Structure 1
């Protein structure tokens, strides 16, 4: 009998060394599998998750600072096979990039697309960390410092270092409209496997935009197409799918997408110009959030 193996993007098993996560017991070919239970970890910083335990491995996704992870197993060279909890996506990171427990203060969510944590309450202070929308820092018992018209919040970074961020970086987000939020990423650089405004790929953009609207999408374009409801005529905020690619519709013809053609987030009109014509010809359909 042929056994269909689970998707290795989301299910942790390695047939070369016969190790697998406990949840796959009974779902893999017979053999001397060593099953492991995941352990909680957190990203110490914005970090690349790679396709294998090698600095030359391609980036498959990112974990943002303070995001919860699961550690499946580690190797003798200090690499950890981990899973991002928000979308259950797997990759490899250095153990030194993880923390066993974040600071105990109140978790504060970064709402700016990009930001910095500083060594002191002043913009001329050294930068300690790059922050991105969705990252987490942690409130300390210190007082807010006012400097000019700026208000500086003392925080702890996920790795335990003390830092300062301006309150505007942590301002409560407005109710998100997918098109308006996506347009804020216009001209952000394209980065394979990226999912922040420091650099993101096509499905990283759509996943981030939908998350801001309260909708959890899987990581990759084909996975996103599987969970959305197919529609013939797109409305603003629907997703457009292509082989290995996805974009978000602004209206019936215009689409915003992170792409390697321009190496940035751009707007295309389907059917207009050479690139738009190629996109329209290769479109495999549109998808809408159920309900």
Structure 2
């Protein structure tokens, strides 16, 4: 049992329930269930440590993100995981849908909105964020020189998004993308520019370039190649913390010290000296 990680392996000792992927690793006192595919709806979905809104948020699923539902509960909660990283938590089933976005559009803007009509004066329908996917729902229109894309919305209601929110990102440079998050608020378990934590930032800026990282800092450290000295876009690891290196000394990170994304220089200033003293090492993405 010690080899199983409850963050990514779905088993409940108390209820003696587990996912079928653990057949052969757990004894037959468990009832095994097959997770079912699902997707996040039009809003970000908070995954909690327990089926209780007052429990900590452990991660966040972005709009249109693929999920696996382990158990749907009668109280309106589900035990589920984000498929890309296998991370488990409890979420309200109202935010879960049965189908993937049709004709998906990938959001590349850090933040954005769906509008009720193709006009910046129109009421807002919902929020968007980098990494989200929405369903295209028709042809583009132009209004005052602005290009708008119609998208499907929640509850069957459509909406409109400026096409600039879907423009391709430049060539892969996770460090440069992380710098665009400067001053974004720190939120434990968050994974979007509306609020995110240290490992959420690292996972997001690598993930949009197809470089998938696990969810938590210790998992990311184990997944990367250990290097002795840092270069741009390497990750720096500390106890329970991770940052993205801009060069051999400077680092951008989401942190609870400033409650925001900021840049520190290892070994300089009070915070930088503390980080240098706690540095566990560097890791490098290698395809």
- TMscore range, shorter length: over 0.9
Equivalent of residue 124 in structure 1, options 121, 143, 157: 121
Q: 1:152 aligns to what SS in structure 2?
A: strand
**1:192-230 Cα deviation digits (max 9, x unpaired):** 000110001000011111113321100000000001111
Q: Note the C-alpha offset of 1:94.
A: 0.8
Task: Give unpaired runs (5+ residues) of structure 1.
Answer: none
Task: Give unpaired runs (5+ residues) of structure 2.
Answer: none
Equivalent of residue 161 in structure 2, options 154, 161, 165: 165
Q: 2:89 matched to 1:91?
A: yes
In the other structure, the counterpart of 1:54 is 52
Change in CA separation of 1:70 and 1:158 when aligned onto 2, cut-off 3 Å = farther
8 A Cα contact 2:66 2:100, kept in partner:
no
In the other structure, the counterpart of 2:12 is 14
Q: TM-score if structure 2 supplies the norm length?
A: 0.96
Query: Matched residues in 1 for 2:246 and 2:153: separation?
Result: 36
Aligned pairs, number: 286
Q: 2:103 matched to 1:106?
A: yes
Q: 1:112 aligns to what SS in structure 2?
A: coil
Query: Matched residues in 2 for 1:6 and 1:16: separation?
Result: 16
Query: Matched residues in 2 for 1:159 and 1:134: separation?
Result: 22
In the other structure, the counterpart of 1:261 is 257
Q: Note the C-alpha offset of 1:100.
A: 1.1
Alignment of 1:76-225 (within 5 A): 76-103=74-101, 105-141=102-138, 143-157=139-153, 160-225=156-221
Q: Note the C-alpha offset of 1:12.
A: 0.6
Q: 2:218 aligns to what SS in structure 1?
A: helix
* CA RMSD, 1 decimal: 1.3
